[in-house]
Structure formats: structure tokens, C-alpha cells
Amino acid sequence: MSFLPFESGLSPIGGSTCPRGTALLTNSLLNKGTAFTERERDALGLRGLLPPRVFTLEEQVERVLGNLRRKESPLEKYIFLTTLQNRNETLFYRVMQDHTEEMLPLIYTPTVGQACLEYGAIFRRPRGLYISIRERGRVSEILRHWPLHDVRIIVVTDGERILGLGDLGALGMGIPVGKLSLYTACAGLHPAYGLPITLDVGTDNAALRADPHYLGLCQPRVRGTAYDEFVAEFVAAVRSVFPRALLQWEDFGNTNAFRLLQQNRAHVCSFNDDIQGTAAVAGLLASLKETGGKLVEQRLLFLGAGEAGTGIADLYVAAATSAGLSESDARARCWFVDSEGLVVQNRPGRPLAHHKLPYAHAHAPLRTLAEAVEALHPTVLIGVSGQPATFTAPILRRMAELNPRPVIFALSNPTSQAECTAEQAYRETDGRVLFASGSPFPPVTFGGRTYTPGQGNNVYIFPGVGYGALACGAREITDAMFLAAARRLAELVTPEDLALGRIYPSLTRIREVSLELAIAVVAEAKRSGLATIELPADPRAELIARRFEAVYRDYV
């Protein structure tokens, strides 16, 4: 099965005949707006449907930037950009590629969190598929309603755990839409290959059910057997209708996320970005360049014991075992604090969730994060709790007393949910911290030096992993592929990055980074015998040739 860009015909929808007139202007994948040439306007029935002046793509970009920068709030800018995406995807992605650092926070975290909260009020035009549990027995039929028939990546959510914002039900569609935009902007996947899907099984958010603008089913979440049968039907339908599609599970609640991944990853090419696609381990590996420590010597303390935290820990365990530790010794270096205190064996109260058990060590119960820091002396403090301001000044100062270069990751998204700000981390550690956050923070000036905080966001990971897996036709996406990607990402952190206090590459390099990660994934897929498409020994040129480039093509 090949994985190729749309070069054989004018229309990604199929066939070689380009739509004409208003049908062309309303096709976001093909529309060029005011950039249609005089010849194209005559040949394609556009004369009179557009203002007379012909603009270049570069001139259109300048007009977009001028209009965008006049918007006062990030949410207004998000609405403007998504409206542009629905009208002219080439122009949208050209703006994204040329101004990545400015655009990513608007299209994804932190702005997408606010957009999801208000998705009903700002709803303009549907994008993707909404499949509700009322359509049980008809999922294949609904998938076939999608007009593009060569889907390669599906990002699907049931909206139960959107970022750190909780159960947003059908309003969570902003996350799959945003993730697929990043696949194109960051890795070069053609936008026609992506399909965002929301599985609507209701919501336990009573405020949403009472909201007259809420877009989804106004009923409590369906759980248990009915939920499992619905998701199983969905997976079977995807395999039947889009057999070449990679399935990315996104923002499912803890009760379902681990189970769905384990049930499906072996028989459908799929992964869960929240569990597996962690960029935090790459940041940890890069931080060792500054601390001089060894991976196997680190002691990690997590605030938050959900899928993101245990996913980071699992990848750390994989890296540490490959560096010489036994699996049990590697797990013993990871500790968790959840809403009931330190995760330990025989803790009184509710039984521990299954995914926490491997990290429940023998230790006296402790109630607070501060107590855990004092007792365990961690070298790395990682926040994945969705609880803002929980890395308090005393905790940050204590981390700096325990470590010459404390590593502190406040990874909860959006920015409003971060465990601390970059400014707090630098100030309370006298500028010695190696800091990263899930959403971007502005540069911090402290002690006469300006620091550029790193962003430990999976935008560095999943586009390259997905692109590489598709390019080689991987039958399965393994943890080893994510570890290969994390290692390569850490290698791409330059001395110049570290001098700025940044333990991730600049987002201006994101397409280069995604390419390098894709190459690493292809190599691991070949090594493990999971690749089904033969690529050259050095696939770089091939992968570059397949990337979507945001340039207009000539239609006549």
C-alpha cells in the first residue's frame, strides 16, 4: 500500500476533473480565492465570482496576518484562523508554516482549551464526523458519509478528559481538529488524509447538559457494556471503511484510555498520544546535557497519576532499562502523588486504579506533595495534575536546595492549569531550574539573564511518529518507536537552545524535527519487522518528497 501525496489528479476528492464555479470556491482543499489566475477564472467558470485583482499567495499571507493581528483576543484569532482553514487550506497552512511560533498557540494549546469551552457558542461550520451512541448499528454508514475516501489518520475523542478541563463531551471536537492541523503544519501530512471524529456518548458535566448552546447529547455518559460495544463497532467500522487509517485515541478518561489502547493496538494501527506520545522523556534526556547526571540516577516525582503521568513513567522505564537498570529498579525511581497523597502499597482508602499499581512502592503514606518532596528528594518534579499553582514557592525552593540544577516540568494544559509559571520557577530557584511547560510561557528575565522556557508538548512527538508510521506502513506503533522518537528529539536540542534555558528545539524548526523523528520511527519499524512498505535505506529524500507543501498548483 502506497502513501503518496495527491499528485495524480487535480482533486483530492477523486478523479482528475477539477470542480468549477462556486463548487470550486467552496472546496477548502482546492480553493485559491483571489489567487486564481486570469486563465483559471475563464477556464473554471470563476469570472465574476471573484474581485478582479489577482493576488499572489505571499500577498494573501500578508493580508491574513494584518487582519489576524488586529484581533484583540486569542479566541477571536482562533475563530479567524479556523474560518480561514474552512475556506482555503493552502493559505491557512502557509500562514502556519511561515509563522509557526505565533500560530501554534492560537490553533492549539493554550487557546484551543478556551475554544473547546465555548465550542457551542462559536460554532460556525462542522468539521469532521460526530458519531453519537444513538447511531449504534450504523457507524460504518456514517463513516461512508465522509467525502474523502483515502483517510490515513483518524484522531478520535469521546470528550471525557479534554486537556485539564475535564468532561466537555461533544465540545471536545476542537482537539481532534487541532491535532490534525498540527499533523499537516508540523509534519507535512496532506490535510485530505485526516479525519477528526467525536464519539458522543453523553456528558457527566451537568452545566453543559443545561446549556442551551450545547451541541451534543444532553444525557449522562453511557458506560459499561453499551459503551464498549459502541467503541468496538467504531473500531471495526474504521478497519472496514478506512483500512489504511492510523487511529489516534485522544483525551479519553482514565477509566477507558488504557483499556482501549491495550485492546486495540495489536490489531489496528493505533496509539494514545496522552499515554505514549510524551515529549517529557525527551526533555529529561536533554536536561542531562546540562545537569551532567545519568538517566538511571534520576528520581522522578509526579503530581498527577493519570494517563499522562504513567505514560511518561512507562517511557522512562523503557529508556532506563535499555540503559542498564532492571525494570523493577527503573519503576522504583518513579513516584506519584495523586488526589489522596503518595501512591504507595497498602494505602488506606479506595483501591488503587490498575495503571497506578506498578508504581505503588513500599513507603509510609504521605498526604501532600511537599511531604513527598521532603521524603523522596526527587531530581525531577513533573506536574500532570491539571491543578494550577500546586508547585508552590516553598516546594520550588526545596527542589533548588536538593539539586544544583532542578528539573521541573509543569505540563498541565492549558496555561491556566499549569502547576506553576515559568517566572515562578526561575525566581524561586535563583535561575537554576531546567523548566518546561505544556503550553507556552513568555521569556523570563531574572538575574540579568533572559530565559526562553521550553514547551514539553507532544506537538514535538506525535506528528513525526504518525508520519513515519504511515510512510512505512507500520502494522503497529510500539513503545520502542516512541522511545526512538524521544531520543532523537533530545539529540536535536542544540547548545544554543540550552544556552537560552530551552531543553526543546525552537518551534521554528518543527518541520525539521518531525522529519527526523519520522526517520527514526521508520528505522525502528524496519528493525522490529513491522514495516510493510519498503523505503530506501536513507528515506529522508522520500519523506520530504511526500510532504504537503502549502503552495498553489496550476489548474490550467
The residues that are catalytic are 108, 179
Buried b (16+ CB within 10 A) or exposed e, 438-464: bbbbeebebeeeebbbbbbbbbbbbbb
Which amino acid, 343? V
State how far the Cα of 153 lies from the Cα of 467, in Å rounded to an integer: 9
Q: Is 87 exposed, middle or buried (0-12, 13-18, 19+ CB in 10 A)?
A: middle
Cβ of 410: how many Cβ atoms within 10 Å? 31
Cα gap 326→333, rounded to integer Å: 11
Sheet holding 194-200, edge to edge: 129-132, 194-200, 153-157, 246-249, 270-272
| C-alpha span between 194 and 177 (Å, rounded) | 9
Q: Name the DSSP letter for residue 448.
A: T
285 closest CA partner among 52, 505, 453: 505
Sequence letter at residue 307: E
CA nearest 101: which of 468, 499, 467, 457? 457
Residue with cell 535499555: 322
Torsion, CA 139, CA 141, CA 143, CA 144, rounded to 10: 170
Contact 119, 175 (CB under 8 A): no
Contact 32, 39 (CB under 8 A): no
Q: How do 334-338 and 341-342 pair as beta strands?
A: antiparallel
